Structure 1
Amino acid sequence: MFQAAGHIFRLTHAAWVMAREGVFSDVDPAILPPVARAPLALAKLIARRAQGNTGSRLTRAMARLGPSYVKLGQFLATRPDIVGMNSARELEQLQDRMPAFPRAEAIATIEQAFGRKIGDIYAEFSEPVAAASIAQVHKARIADSAGDREVAVKVLRPRIERRFARDLSDMFFAARIAERYSAEARRLRMISVVETLARGVRMEMDFRLEAAAASEFGENVAEDNDFRVPAVDWNLTAKEVLTLEWIDGVALSDIAALKRANVDQPRLGRVVIQSFLLHAVRDGFFHADMHQGNLFVDANGRLVAVDFGIMGRLGPKERRFLAEILYGFITRNYQRVAEVHFEAGYVPSTQRVADFAQAIRAIGEPIHSRKANEISMAKLLTLLFEITALFEMKTRTELVLLQKTMVVVEGVARTLDPHLDLWATSEPIIGAWVREKLGPVGIVQDAGRGVASLGRLAGQLPDLLDRAESIARRLSDAEFTSNGERLRREPRESNWKWVAPWVVAALLAVVLLVR
């Protein structure tokens, strides 16, 4: 009771801030249920005269509400299916910048984490060089047997975990109410949205997990010539502290500095696109926050990524889906694009493939009728989300994150080269993957994996059958009277010798169907 009252009080305050910023001013009351129209009218009444569109108003409101809502706004920037593409693009500009907390508090956190004095850990430790909602970064110097080197030290903001736990609890409460009363909220999986946000925030607040992500990412790209990841110092990393190699480079956000450094910007734009696609389809593990502030170019012309708090993963099915979808658009094979959606189970079987292919063609053909530098991935995704609703396709959060990251990556690349041909740049990566994985070699590899799966299953069958027989005997040896008393009887002769072949056949059939 009191907990619900707390949720309502804090959510009412958040709604008040949004209403005052004019977030609800452009909402059409006709699309809302009657019970929500009176609150909407009140929200419009108290709105102050606000500048900009709905997205910019939402951005200002999120910034006023504090770090949890800043993170929510950044996350909603990856969900244009919920807030609309225009609002999503505005929310991309939401800066996760907070006032720095004192250097002394950062030192106290570090000393508690490692049980040593700061002077015994770092030879030098600077004032904060950047501060965000969860942590801030200091530049430091280490002098030890490995040599004299500069590092970036990320320190968790004090007492931030309690604040996020409270605000996320409020968001769960609101999502449950929304799904209870709104079919559209259920389609968009609002509870799943908050769960994804909460999981991401929990991982961001444990720097050991970010270090692991950076380490895995670094191993994946170790052989890449155009992309690298700063090394992790595991000896100086804990839950509240992350120590990484310091990157001396030019941020991609500083176009003037790139020009002064004579960086080949068109080449760098191609590297941005191709590196992202390579990580997604080759590794199934990609940087999901590749905005200009997190990307640098080093003295050797290599692209360097930082900040690994938000990473995306794709399973084999999703990677194949991505590759075939992009390749289908590149080659204008809209029938195959539609079939892939159905094969992946993303579109309900009650829909018709031909109808979906027709809708996909409506998206693809305008792209190929324009010049490369006129193609907007944002517009493409807007149409895709409209079709998603039309064909009752439920939201796939991992694919939405991937698609939105593609929009951000495209924006970065186009800033470097306004004339970039996105599709021609993508084809070498996507085409090579499709030819390798879906061609004769890929078929043989899939068959080999299928045989290996059957071998593992065959090895497990005797144990599985023994367990099943044991359970069946226990069930068949026990009977119950009407008042619940248990009676025993002599065990019957097992019939599993007749059942086993059918079980084996059924399991093999399932494996083959799954493959």
Structure 2
Amino acid sequence: MIRFIRNSFRLLGMARILARHDALFPLALVPGGNVLAFFARLTAPFSRRSDLPPGRRLARALEELGPAFIKLGQTLATRADLIGDDVAADLSSLQDRLPPFPAKVAKRIITEQLGGPFETLFVEFDDTPVAAASIAQVHFATTPDGREVAVKVLRPDIGVRFARDLDLFYWVSELVELTQPRLRRLKPVETIKTLEDSVHLEMDLRFEASAASEFRDNFASDPTYYIPQIDWERTAEHVLTMERVKGVRIDNVEALDRMGVNRSALLAKAAGAFFQQVFRDGFFHADMHPGNLFVDETGQVSVVDFGIMGRVDRQTRLYLAEMLLGFLTRDYRRVAEIHFEAGYVPRNQSLENFQQACRSIGEPILGKELSDISVGRLLGQLFQITETFGMETQPQLLMLQKTMIVTEGLSRILSPNENMWELSRPLIEEWMRENLGPEAKIAEATRQAGSMLRRLPRVIEAAEQAAAVFTDQGLRLHPDTVAAMRGRSSNGQRKTGGISKQSILLWLAIAALSVALFMK
């Protein structure tokens, strides 16, 4: 009851801010949302109608509501199936910016976390942060040995604020699932769980440091794509220190042109690196906005901010590759089959109807000029047909789709007449050949055979144990059971009509028992 009262008042307060920005439309998903919207309009000061698009209005309201709501908006940007294409596109550019907290507070946190006098940690420290976001802010500094570094410091009390807001999000999503069965397949509670997991990882900067370290290892042999080195001695739960990178933002085309950087070659590097992240490594940077990518005079791309990362397992990568290949070659039958094989579409749905739906998505997009084809938009529209065919939401693919859209938008800034997927085509073809071609199938069969051979001694041992059970202890069956297995009645008379159903079931039970013993 206390939780209900607390969150009801907080929901009304949130609604009033939404009303002030004329962004009450998300309340349509909440039970009693229309009544809540009515009271919010009556009580909200300065409530007004806006000519801005709905997504822009919602973005402004979320920025005012604070850090957790900004993160929620960024999560919803991946859920076009919930809020629609246009709103999702507007939320994808939601700015994660907040006023900075004082430098003296940052220094206090650094001293407490790293356990030493501040002067022994940094000889220079810029009091003005270069970035201030919802979770943390970043200062440039210099270490005693002369290295220039970037120091990320978590906001004070951010954990308490997020915990309070996440409780509200869970409460609302639980109400939605309880009262609106048609929305359960969209997994609103699981969406908030994904947000919570992401935020918890972001609020322990050691995890971000670990992600950066893994990312750096993945691209250690690529001189064109640089990941800064972590200073582990100056990194703790609330402080992260890494090598400072220099250059201009990747979307500053005027500066790139002055530096003499070939933007077409730069796009090819970025496209290739993104493909390698997703398909080669299954570990990708999920916050690829231009503020996290910098380019120096040599054309080298440096990446920062590893708080939001995505993972895609190998089987999903194979499904995704075949799915995209099917779309690009207009093999909609194969696209539909992949969805059924992956379990994305329930087996009770019509394969032919889903094939037709895939064609309705692919043809309008693939009929465009090559430079206008957006794989991210294609995936977004594919996810929108989920309600018709009962597909369940795939959170890992939603994050990937959002990242694709951001990356494609960046590619159009760098070189509007080129398509990033065409530029990375050699990598795509090589990866497909290595993972989906005949050689790959032979290699997979060899791997599975090797795995079976490694398990063979255990299987033999289990078989010997099972044999001991049968021979030493005996498998005692009731005489009626034996008679039934032989197809006879309890009085010894043979039944007519061949093998009985009971006999088949008994033999299957014995077989299942044997398998269980062998595989134990």
Please report the TM-score for the alignment, with normalisation by the length of structure 2: 0.86
The CA deviation at 1:85 is 1.5
Q: Call closer, same or farther: CA 1:235–1:495 in 2, change over 3 Å.
A: farther
Q: Which residue of 1 aligns with 2:137?
A: 136
Moved more, 195-204 or 343-352: 343-352
Q: Distance in 2 between matches of 1:98 and 1:202?
A: 19
Instruction: Spell out the pairing of 1:189-268 with structure 2 (5 A cutoff).
Output: 189-268=187-266
Distance 1:239 1:396, change over 3 A: same
Q: Hey, what's the Cα distance between the residues in 1 that align with 2:311 and 2:104?
A: 37
Kindly indicate whether the alpha-carbon contact (under 8 Å) linking 2:12 and 2:40 is maintained by their aligned counterparts in 1: no
Comparing 106-115 and 188-197, the one that deviates more:
106-115
**1:229, distance to aligned residue in structure 2 (A):** 0.8
Counterparts of 1:410-425 in structure 2, within 5 Å, are 410-425=408-423
Kept in 1: contact 2:79–2:398 (CA 8 A)? yes
Tell me which residue corresponds to 1:481.
none
2:294 aligned with 1:296: yes
Report the Cα distance in structure 2 between the residues aligned to 1:466 and 1:63, rounded to whole angstroms. 67
Q: How does 1:103-118 map to 2 (within 5 A)?
A: 103-118=103-118
Once the two structures are overlaid, the 10-residue window that deviates more, 89-98 or 46-55, is 46-55
Q: Which has the larger displacement, 111-120 or 364-373?
A: 364-373
> Is contact 1:7–1:170 with CA below 8 Å preserved after alignment?
yes
| Counterparts in 2 of 1:161 and 1:60: CA distance versus 1, 3 Å | same
Matches within 5 A, 1:112-511: 112-127=112-127, 128-144=129-145, 148-377=146-375, 379-461=377-459, 493=473, 495=475, 505=515
SS in 1 for 2:126: strand
AA aligned to 2:81 is D
Cross-structure match for 2:77: 77
How many residues end up aligned between the 2 structures?
484
Specify whether residues 360 and 26 from structure 1 end up closer, same or farther in structure 2 by C-alpha distance, changes over 3 A only: same
Q: Whole-Å Cα distance in 1 between the matches of residues 80 and 20 of structure 2?
A: 23
Assess, with a 3 A threshold, how the Cα gap between structure 1 residues 88 and 467 changes in structure 2: closer, same or farther.
farther
Distance 2:405 2:517 in 1: 43
Task: Report Cα offsets for 1:244-287 as digits up to 9, x if no partner.
Answer: 11001111132222222122112222222221111101100000
**Is 2:42 the partner of 1:20?**
no
| In structure 2, C-alpha distance between the alignment counterparts of 1:49 and 1:58, rounded to whole Å | 13
- Judged with a 3 Å threshold, the aligned counterparts in structure 2 of structure 1 residues 158 and 40 are, in CA distance, closer, same or farther, namely closer
The Cα of 1:50 is off from its aligned counterpart by 1.7
**1:143 maps to amino acid:** P
Larger displacement relative to structure 2 (72-81 or 448-457): 448-457
- Note closer, same or farther for the CA distance 1:321–1:494 as it changes in structure 2 (3 Å cut): same
The separation in 2 between residues aligned to 1:383 and 1:57, in whole angstroms, is 23
Distance (whole Å) between structure 2 residues aligned to residue 404 and residue 320 of structure 1: 19
Unaligned segments of structure 1, at least 5 residues: 473-491, 511-515
Q: Structure 1 residues 391-400 or 354-363, which shifts more?
A: 354-363
How far 1:508 sits from its partner (Å)? Answer: 9.1
RMSD over equivalenced CA pairs, Å: 3.0
Instruction: Please tell me the residue identity of whatever aligns with 2:473.
Output: E
What letter matches 2:423 in structure 1? T
Does structure 1 retain, via aligned residues, the 8 Å contact 2:18–2:61?
Answer: yes
With 284-293 and 117-126 compared, the bigger mean Cα shift is at 117-126
- The alpha-carbon distance between structure 1 residues 461 and 378, as it changes in their structure 2 partners (threshold 3 A), is closer
Paired with 1:77 and 1:432, the residues of 2 have a C-alpha distance of 32
In structure 2, relative to structure 1, the CA distance for the partners of 1:453 and 1:157 (3 Å cut) is same
Q: Distance in 2 between matches of 1:274 and 1:364?
A: 24
Distance 1:465 1:22 in 2: 70
| Structure-1 residue corresponding to 2:479 | none
SS for the counterpart of 1:90 is helix
State the Cα deviation string for residues 413-447 of structure 1 (Å, max 9, x = none). 11101111244224222221111111122112211
Who is 2:97 aligned against? Answer: 97
Q: CA deviation at 1:460?
A: 4.7
Instruction: Specify whether residues 32 and 6 from structure 1 end up closer, same or farther in structure 2 by C-alpha distance, changes over 3 A only.
Output: closer
Return the alpha-carbon distance in structure 1 between the equivalents of residues 355 and 40 of structure 2. 42
> Structure 2 vs 1, CA of residues 460 and 241 (structure 1 numbering), >3 Å: closer, same or farther?
farther
Alpha-carbon spacing, 1:500–1:121, altered in 2? closer, same or farther (3 Å):
farther
Equivalent position amino acid for 1:132 in 2: A
Task: Write the distance in 1 (CA, Å) between the matches of 2:312 and 2:514.
Answer: 32
Q: How far, CA to CA, are the matches of 2:30 and 2:293 in structure 1?
A: 42
Q: How much does 1:44 deviate?
A: 6.1
TM-score, L = length of structure 1: 0.87
- Is the CA contact (8 Å cut-off) linking 2:283 and 2:310 kept in structure 1? yes
Render the CA deviation track for 1:149-195: whole Å, top value 9, x for unaligned: 10111011111111111111111111111100112331110000100
Tell me, in whole angstroms, the C-alpha distance in 1 between the residues paired with 2:114 and 2:225: 32
The sequence identity of aligned pairs, in percent, is: 44
Cα distance, 1:331 vs. partner? Answer: 2.1
Q: Which moved more, 1:79-88 or 1:44-53?
A: 44-53
Contact 1:218 1:230 in 2 (8 A): yes
Find the aligned partners of 2:447 and 2:227 in 1 and give their Cα distance.
31
Q: Output the CA distance in 2 between the equivalents of 1:50 and 1:9.
A: 26
Cα separation, 2, equivalents of 1:209 and 1:364? 39
Distance 1:231 1:447, change over 3 A: same
**Preserved CA contact (<8 Å) 1:85 1:378:** no
CA distance in 2, matches of 1:9, 1:81: 29
Distance 2:142 2:433 in 1: 47
Alpha-carbon displacement from aligned partner over 1:324-348 (angstroms, at most 9, x marks no partner): 1122222222221111111111111
1:55 aligns with 2:19: no
Measure the CA separation in 2 of the matches of 1:445 and 1:263.
Answer: 41
Paired amino acid for 1:441: E
